[in-house]
Amino acid sequence: MPKIANRRRTLVTGGAGFLGSHLCERLLERGDDVLCVDNFYSGTKDNIAHLLANPHFELVRHDITFPLYLEVDEIYNLGCPASPIHYQYDPVQTTKTSVHGSINMLGLAKRVRARILQASTSEVYGDPEVHPQLESYWGNVNPIGTRACYDEAKRCAETLFFDYHRQHKLEIKVARIFNTYGPRMHPNDGRVVSNFIVQALRGEPITVYGSGGQTRSFCYVDDLIEALLRFMQTPAEHTGPLNVGNPKEFTILELAERVINLTGAKSKIVHQPLPSDDPAQRQPDIAAARKLIDWEPLTPLEAGLEKTIEYFRAQGVGAR
């Protein structure tokens, strides 16, 4: 179908999720026609309710494991549950979403010759033996563990992206996203930042799994979205994979203490068993992103946590 409108038509799968809703917002701000595709598996209409009145925003309820025929110029493939509780709830569906979903979105991109970005993950590195993680590291993933439905399916998705690129000359961008947090995280999705803030605001104990000595590097959502937008605009030869995340590393115990301080909570820290295959450490090497997209996360942890705490308070979490 010939393109008549001047606006760029951009498809965001998983657009009603945490990251997807922020991405849709930014794309609308820059003047795109945005098509948000979501089956509301882990996302919610509340995340995009404020966009529904915008004539350049369109919401399609659809499960990407089934074919989808649309005419678009660019695709951001974010559709996939991202928190361990959500992706382990229906692990077969999780694998289908990353594998069948990617095949369908790649088939769509091939038919309309659209550029396509995959929201891959630091989980492709598994429990890493190399620290910090560089894009050239192949990872250490348990293929039969409880996290495999997410990790292995995301690895397979990367394979599919690179094969469509080699075989069908598709323009691809594979972004390996490290732990990202911010407003619109699901309060019950079990991720560490949302869990700790919700527990602190309710005055409940803060549940640290294991000793709390395991590390993560937390990126604020606005910084992450900026990186995805910049990466998508790079010349075609830059396929990635590209690490995007904040290289500042914290132990989970440090995070718990910061959340307690910032919320002024009286919560005590309690230790609970460590989930299986929980990576001991994670920190992105972002030298490639610094060079390619001239990007650096700008939001310090405390400032990002404050905004996230404010969001959960505004949602009524902890209100009496």
Catalytic residues: 150
CB-nearer residue toward ligand NAD: 219 or 265: 219
- Positive or negative torsion for Cα 173, 178, 184, 188: positive
- Interaction of residue 208 with ligand UDP, rule CB under 6 A: yes
Beta strands in 54-213 (DSSP E): 57-61, 74-77, 115-121, 172-177, 180-181, 206-209
Site for ligand UDP in 100-139 (CB under 6 A): 103-104, 107-108, 110-111
Helix 301-314 and helix 192-201: axis angle, to 10°?
Answer: 60
| Beta-carbon count within 10 A of 40 CB | 12
> What's the DSSP call for residue 205?
P
Binding test (CB under 6 A) with ligand UDP, winner from 207, 239, 251, 281: 207
Binding test (CB under 6 A) with ligand UDP, winner from 17, 128, 216, 267: 216
User: What is the distance of C-alpha 198 from the center of its chain?
Assistant: 20
Q: Which does 69 bind (CB under 5 to 8 A by kind): ligand UDP, ligand NAD, none?
A: ligand UDP
Task: Give, in degrees to the nearest 5, the angle at Cα 239 between 237 and 240.
Answer: 130
Backbone region of residue 294 per phi and psi (left: phi > 0; alpha: psi in -120 to 50; beta: other values) = left
| Smallest gap from residue 103 Cβ to ligand UDP (A) | 5
- Interaction of residue 232 with ligand UDP, rule CB under 6 A: no
Q: Which does 65 bind (CB under 5 to 8 A by kind): ligand NAD, ligand UDP, none?
A: ligand NAD
Q: Which does 192 bind (CB under 5 to 8 A by kind): ligand NAD, ligand UDP, none?
A: ligand UDP
- Interaction of residue 209 with ligand UDP, rule CB under 6 A: yes
Instruction: Fill in the per-residue mask, 238 to 277: x = in contact with ligand UDP (CB under 6 A), - = not in contact.
Output: --------------x---------------------xx--
Please say whether the beta carbons of 121 and 177 come within 8 A: yes
Task: Summarize as ranges the residues that interact with ligand NAD (CB under 6 A).
Answer: 13-14, 16-20, 37-43, 63-65, 78-82, 86, 97, 101, 119, 121, 177, 179-180
Collapse the DSSP code of 241 into the 3-class scheme (helix H, G, I; strand E, B; otherwise coil) and give the result: coil
CB-nearer residue toward ligand NAD: 198 or 265: 198
Long-range contacts, stretch 291-296, CB < 8 angstroms, 24+ apart:
292/231, 292/234, 292/238, 292/242, 293/227, 293/230, 293/231, 293/234, 293/242, 294/230, 295/226, 295/227, 295/230, 295/244
CB-nearer residue toward ligand NAD: 79 or 267: 79
Instruction: Fill in the per-residue mask, 159 to 198: x = in contact with ligand UDP (CB under 6 A), - = not in contact.
Output: --------------------x----------xxx--x---
Q: Which does 316 bind (CB under 5 to 8 A by kind): ligand UDP, ligand NAD, none?
A: none
Structure tokens at 239: 């396929």
CB-nearer residue toward ligand UDP: 108 or 228: 108
Q: Which does 39 bind (CB under 5 to 8 A by kind): ligand UDP, ligand NAD, none?
A: ligand NAD
Q: Which does 313 bind (CB under 5 to 8 A by kind): ligand NAD, ligand UDP, none?
A: none
Binding test (CB under 6 A) with ligand UDP, winner from 84, 132, 183, 241: 84
CA distance 29 to 176: 25
Structure tokens at 309: 């705490």
CA distance 15 to 100: 18
Footprint on this chain of ligand UDP (rule: CB under 6 A): 67-69, 83-84, 103-104, 107-108, 110-111, 179, 190-192, 195, 207-209, 214, 216, 252, 274-275, 278
